[in-house]
Structure 1
Amino acid sequence: MTASKALLLLLRLARSLAARVMLGAVVALAVAFLSPLVEPLIPESWAERFGPDTVVPILTILATTMLTVTTFSLSVMVQAFQSAASQATPRAYRLHLADTTTQTVLATFTGAFLYALTALVMFRTGFYSDAVSVVILGVTVLVIGAIVLAILRWIDHLSTLGSMDNTLDIVEQHARGPLRRAMAQPALGGLPLPPDAQIPDSARPLPAPQSGYVQFVDMRSLHERLAAANARLTLSAAPGQHVIAGAPLGWLLGDGAEPDGLSGCFTIGKTRTAEQDARFGIVVLSEIALRALSPGINDPGTAIDVSHRVTRLLAGIEAPGTTPPDYPRIEVPVVAAPDLIEDGYHPLIRAGAAHPEVIGVVLDSLATLEASDWPELARAARQAQGYALRHAKSALTVADDRDALARKYGG
């Protein structure tokens, strides 16, 4: 089943850096304010031994050091992500921002700072009694333990943060999920739209409320509205496609449906996202390969690595499923195998045709995909292999390189 628009917004909020940091801060503040409730359970001997004179200096050190560590960590994160964007592709920056390890570490540091600062204020203003100091000390020990674990995790993470390998791993990870979901539900749970489908003359356009990329379609809400109006919809703008305000998102059949209500089921934004866009991750990988093959960088090894990663992604998917549609009133364009091959390999073929080591790996990758259980993907890979050979023969200036390709791949 596809997710709703409300769930999409909730997931986006959960993946944001600000949400993680605020959650850690809320937990820390709640502990500081609720500590007096435990006061009746504290033995007097403990209260005398672990009074404010013991706890306040520890909280002072904690607040001071955590502010410094948080500021330093934020600067390191920004520099690493900007480096990844300049070396790989600007689209990788947004994927890095969703890195859960970085978010959790920063949330721990910020939460510890706010906890220590709040506890200090409560002590200085007289809201905490001597007995509460025992509770605060116990919580502080737990906070210090969490900080130590976060620092160890952060040190290990910094060794790869922003590197090319780390960026490629993140992009590949973000590409795999949408691809598998697209194969399990090729039409987002609706009816697959045939490539040669004709739009009836009686159909009305469903205009886009704003310009931008179609990021998400709330299929459940959309289908419920269509069912209530006894209408049908043929999407012309699938997730990942850019639309202009007023351009048709799809075509309506039925007079009872209100376009304004239906257009609210679409999430349109300034940037392309991967929630329902199976091609986005492969496009980003391809952009990284193009940047690597640019004269200013000249890194064929990264282009070869990208070719291997794209091959792993496409070889690991199964042919599109044929389960009955959950939303039969909606026709949706499906992800076609030629589009995936074109996104993953055609830019690499054009940019790397003059590099024998790159074009050779691309041809090997396409030969691997020719054995795919998905006939459409195997056929598209075979056609792309001929496309790559033609480009290589035109770009390679040394006869030995051309002859080597001809002997291995024919043509």
Structure 2
Amino acid sequence: MRLSKTLLLVKRVARNLAARVVFGAVLALAMAFLSPLIEPLLPSRWTEQVKPDAVIPILTILATTMLTVTTFSLSVMVQAFQTAASQATPRAYRLHLEDTTTQTVLATFTGAFLYALTALVMFRADLYAPDTAIVILGVTVLVIGAIVLAILRWIEHLSRLGSMDDTLAMVERQAREALERAMQQPAFGGVPLDADPELPESAVPVPAPSGGYIQFVDVEALHGILAERGGHITVTSAPGQHVVKGAPVAWLIEGAGEDLDQITDCFTIGSIRTPEQDSRFGIVVLSEVAARALSPGINDPGTAIDVIHRLTRLLHEIGAPSGSPPEFPRVELPTVRAADVVEDGFASLIRAGAGHPEVIGAAVEALRTLEGADWPGMAQAARRMQGYALRHVKDALSVTDDRDGLAHEI
């Protein structure tokens, strides 16, 4: 499914914890209207046996326990995410907030609390008919079943939540997904743009509606607008790039018209980088984790080497950009280049680890492996980065054996 701006907003709302929690209260409110429709379908002896007095104590227990469990779980989540941010990188904190397992579990607990509380209020306000108690009991049993499954899932998830292994796996997974999308559609379905495009003098700039990072470009909507106007557009600011308000993010070659609002609405700009179209973001986060691990306060070369191995697997396995014809020929966009991701992944890591022979050795070995990757330009970028590593090694290592050994490898 192609990601449009509307679908992007829907996905972001779905990842929001509050949106999932509200479902519990909505479920209880819906029962006030659905229960009278369900009750006639049930055997009469069931409705006679189950009265509100049998359901209200269960709802009371549920509301009390779920409030405690939710409060405890939220404190554990915040502590785990803060630990990940301090040991890995602050960007990992934002990625952890989108962890679907944590969100689903917490939404189940909080939603169950709101469901029980709302159902109690509805009973006390006589908004539920007495005969519908059997329906509420049935829904409550289903809610309890969901709680049991969530607790089992939460126990298993807590064993690794916030750990370095969990953080690295999560970042690698998101980086892989973003890069694979970039390989399948190098320009998000548009025409790949040269690094330094030549723009005609008649080109009309499209100003950024606000300052921040470009998070999403709705290429399909842009193409539809330009098809009506008979124009073309060259997007010069790729997702992930920071812009200031009023700076040109694109240039209209033809079909400019007087109203640019439709064009600017196709660009989503925010205060942080997001992984939907920013294929380099995950690589940058992995590199930040390695640089933080090599800082004097942490001094963990093993994590840096682990990051190097993850980067090697990632960049070697994603393959080459697709050569399929553009789906939206009226839109030109920059593509992610092999040189960019190699620099994002290894440059800061080499600077931070220049004084660690084992780290630089792993980085050089990884770069030599990447010379055999299918991605055009990867071999040249890897060789250039090896030379960069050698120059840092010569300045950072004072022991001749370490320095000469790495220089021989390069």
Identity, % of aligned positions = 67
Show CA shifts across 1:97-129 (max 9, x none).
Answer: 111111111111122112212222233233334
SS across alignment from 1:13? helix
Task: Tell me how far apart the structure 2 counterparts of residues 145 and 327 of structure 1 sit (CA, whole Å).
Answer: 48
Task: Tell me how far apart the structure 1 counterparts of residues 407 and 223 of structure 2 sit (CA, whole Å).
Answer: 53
Unmatched tracts of structure 2, length 5 or more: none
* Contact 1:278-1:335 within 8 A present in 2 as well: yes
Shift of 1:255: 5.1
- Tell me the equivalent position of 2:215: 215
Shift of 1:367: 1.2
SS across alignment from 1:127? coil
- In the superposition, the TM-score normalised over structure 2's length comes to 0.95
* Contact 2:89-2:292 within 8 A present in 1 as well: yes
Farther off after superposition, 135-144 or 25-34: 25-34
- Tell me the equivalent position of 1:150: 150
The one-letter amino acid of 2:397's match is: L
* Contact 1:32-1:115 within 8 A present in 2 as well: no
- Shift in alpha-carbon separation, 1:246–1:62, aligned structure 2, 3 A: same
The one-letter amino acid of 1:104's match is: T
Shift of 1:24: 3.7
- Tell me the equivalent position of 1:271: 272
- Shift in alpha-carbon separation, 1:46–1:235, aligned structure 2, 3 A: closer
* Contact 1:283-1:343 within 8 A present in 2 as well: yes
SS across alignment from 2:120? helix
The one-letter amino acid of 1:95's match is: L
- Tell me the equivalent position of 1:303: 304
- The answer on 1:317 being equivalent to 2:318 is yes
The one-letter amino acid of 1:86's match is: S
The one-letter amino acid of 1:265's match is: C
Show CA shifts across 1:246-302 (max 9, x none).
Answer: 111122222543323211110011111111111011001111111111111111111
* Contact 2:20-2:111 within 8 A present in 1 as well: no
Unmatched tracts of structure 1, length 5 or more: none
- The answer on 1:109 being equivalent to 2:87 is no
* Contact 2:235-2:249 within 8 A present in 1 as well: yes
- Tell me the equivalent position of 2:329: 328
Task: Tell me how far apart the structure 1 counterparts of residues 32 and 301 of structure 2 sit (CA, whole Å).
Answer: 55
* Contact 1:17-1:98 within 8 A present in 2 as well: no
Show CA shifts across 1:36-82 (max 9, x none).
Answer: 33222444433443323322211111111011111111121112112
- Shift in alpha-carbon separation, 1:58–1:338, aligned structure 2, 3 A: same
- Tell me the equivalent position of 2:344: 343
Farther off after superposition, 43-52 or 371-380: 43-52
Task: Tell me how far apart the structure 1 counterparts of residues 29 and 68 of structure 2 sit (CA, whole Å).
Answer: 19
Task: Tell me how far apart the structure 2 counterparts of residues 11 and 52 of structure 1 sit (CA, whole Å).
Answer: 39
Q: Note the aligned Cα RMSD (angstroms).
A: 1.7
- Shift in alpha-carbon separation, 1:337–1:55, aligned structure 2, 3 A: same
* Contact 2:351-2:392 within 8 A present in 1 as well: yes
* Contact 1:32-1:118 within 8 A present in 2 as well: no
SS across alignment from 1:327? coil
The one-letter amino acid of 1:87's match is: Q
The one-letter amino acid of 1:211's match is: G
The one-letter amino acid of 1:5's match is: K
- Shift in alpha-carbon separation, 1:22–1:119, aligned structure 2, 3 A: closer
Task: Tell me how far apart the structure 2 counterparts of residues 8 and 226 of structure 1 sit (CA, whole Å).
Answer: 21
Task: Tell me how far apart the structure 2 counterparts of residues 134 and 187 of structure 1 sit (CA, whole Å).
Answer: 56
Number of aligned residue pairs: give it: 409
Task: Tell me how far apart the structure 2 counterparts of residues 155 and 316 of structure 1 sit (CA, whole Å).
Answer: 33
Shift of 1:321: 1.3
The one-letter amino acid of 2:63's match is: A
SS across alignment from 2:333? strand
SS across alignment from 2:377? helix
- Shift in alpha-carbon separation, 1:46–1:201, aligned structure 2, 3 A: closer
Task: Tell me how far apart the structure 2 counterparts of residues 311 and 170 of structure 1 sit (CA, whole Å).
Answer: 16
- The answer on 1:360 being equivalent to 2:361 is yes
- Tell me the equivalent position of 2:83: 83
Shift of 1:187: 1.4
Superposition pairs for residues 76-225 of structure 1, below 5 Å?
76-225=76-225
SS across alignment from 1:38? helix
Task: Tell me how far apart the structure 1 counterparts of residues 138 and 228 of structure 2 sit (CA, whole Å).
Answer: 58
SS across alignment from 1:233? strand
- Tell me the equivalent position of 1:373: 374
- Tell me the equivalent position of 2:249: 249
Task: Tell me how far apart the structure 1 counterparts of residues 74 and 283 of structure 2 sit (CA, whole Å).
Answer: 29
The one-letter amino acid of 1:397's match is: S
Task: Tell me how far apart the structure 1 counterparts of residues 49 and 3 of structure 2 sit (CA, whole Å).
Answer: 55
- Shift in alpha-carbon separation, 1:339–1:259, aligned structure 2, 3 A: same
SS across alignment from 1:149? helix
- Tell me the equivalent position of 1:54: 54
SS across alignment from 1:375? coil
Farther off after superposition, 21-30 or 270-279: 21-30
Farther off after superposition, 122-131 or 221-230: 122-131
- Tell me the equivalent position of 2:235: 235
- Tell me the equivalent position of 1:385: 386
Task: Tell me how far apart the structure 2 counterparts of residues 65 and 299 of structure 1 sit (CA, whole Å).
Answer: 41
Shift of 1:33: 4.7
- Shift in alpha-carbon separation, 1:195–1:128, aligned structure 2, 3 A: closer
Task: Tell me how far apart the structure 2 counterparts of residues 349 and 382 of structure 1 sit (CA, whole Å).
Answer: 14
Task: Tell me how far apart the structure 2 counterparts of residues 48 and 197 of structure 1 sit (CA, whole Å).
Answer: 78
- The answer on 1:63 being equivalent to 2:69 is no
Shift of 1:27: 2.9
SS across alignment from 1:335? coil
SS across alignment from 1:119? helix
- Shift in alpha-carbon separation, 1:3–1:39, aligned structure 2, 3 A: closer
Superposition pairs for residues 277-292 of structure 1, below 5 Å?
277-292=278-293
* Contact 1:230-1:256 within 8 A present in 2 as well: no
SS across alignment from 1:374? coil
Farther off after superposition, 226-235 or 151-160: 226-235
SS across alignment from 2:374? coil
Task: Tell me how far apart the structure 1 counterparts of residues 99 and 33 of structure 2 sit (CA, whole Å).
Answer: 31
The one-letter amino acid of 1:382's match is: R
